[in-house]
Amino acid sequence: MSQILVGHQEIFRQLWATHQADRLPSAYLFLGPKGLGKSTVTRVLAQRINCDLGQECGVCENCRLFASGSHPDFLVVGPTGKQIKIAQIQGLIGTLNLKPMYAKKRVVLVKEADKLGLEAANAFLKVLEEPPLDSLLVLTSEDEHGLLETLLSRCQKVSFGPLSRLELAQLLEARTQLEPEAMELVLAYSEGRLRKELIEKAPELLGLEGQVGQLLFRLDPAKLVDQMEWLESLIKQGLEGYFLEFLARWLRDLSFEFSGQSERVRRPAAVALARSQGFEPPVPVLLDAFTQVGETQGAIYAQAGKLLALEGLLLRLHHLLQGALVL
């Protein structure tokens, strides 16, 4: 198995076995959230198919071109702005009409295929209806429901699940220089995928997570005005999403801990801090607070006023949790 592929080993084995049996379909649809490795699996498969030795030898011309990121027969198309545009698909069709320059089989990766504009989708449909024999088409998407049914019917679907904690840790160690504390934060909040922005901001987000804990465990009415000003500063920094995510995670972990499900806790440090602060409200109260956070996330996603939504949440948390706090 490839040394540069972490996770999804069974999926890759099946793809490779299908190729060896000369049964590859003309098009795949790889489904799953961003950051799981769908594009990586596509690239590794393309390299192995075209390697002279069939094992990503790293020495043959095809492997060297893949390593440099400049293989002319590995084509990647993705959104420019909000959509994949018709001009991009027309350019792709022009290339597909030519023979591959080096590869035995050209591989086309269409990232976020659910963002194909209507014209682009209809143009790409013609490619799927008469696929070039010397090419493999791989579409990726988080959700198949954004794709035309006519496109879906011409692709073989492969669903990607989350990476294990160990697999994700291996990727982070190989690709980042995170300190242990920052890496633990990323592992706790990544949900089994690589979240680029979270990784980039992890060192500074450690401080924010600590502040979230202090706010949660010290909901002092005398500090309400200061806390609201702090929330306003988070919005100005664009950090309100992380604030809500951290708050939800802590409430969820505490509900697991206090209901005898400690094996499901992601942030043991949060539990330890809560106990040190004498913070142990009833589990139904924690779950109610967790629901309130989720509703606030939904309201902000639906374009509600951020500050008003966060201030409302803070007031509701005061009401729910104050009786359980040591002030």
Is 28 within the bounds of a domain? yes
Instruction: Indicate which CATH number applies to the domain containing 112.
Output: 3.40.50.300
Split at pLDDT 50, 70, 90, the class of 4 is low
Is 4 within the bounds of a domain? no
Do 220 and 97 have their domain in common? no
Do 66 and 125 have their domain in common? yes
List, for residues 209-254, the tens digit of each pLDDT value: 999 988 888 887 788 889 999 999 999 999 999 999 999 999 999 9
Residue-range definition of the domain harbouring residue 310: 168-324
d(CA 169, CA 260): 27
| Contact assessment for residue 266 and residue 188, using Cβ atoms and an 8 Å cutoff | yes
The total of structural domains in the chain comes to: 2
Do 182 and 289 have their domain in common? yes
| Domain termination site, one of 100, 127, 161 | 161
Is 2 within the bounds of a domain? no
Do 258 and 283 have their domain in common? yes
Give the distance, in angstroms, between the CA of residue 55 and the centroid of all CA atoms in the same chain: 28
List, for residues 285-327, the tens digit of each pLDDT value: 999 999 999 999 999 988 879 999 999 999 999 888 876 554 3
| Domain termination site, one of 161, 191, 226 | 161
Element (H, E) at 159: strand 156-159
Do 203 and 305 have their domain in common? yes
Is 185 within the bounds of a domain? yes
| Contact assessment for residue 32 and residue 160, using Cβ atoms and an 8 Å cutoff | yes
Q: What's at 54, amino acid-wise?
A: G
d(CA 158, CA 147): 15
Do 174 and 112 have their domain in common? no
pTM of the full structure? 0.87
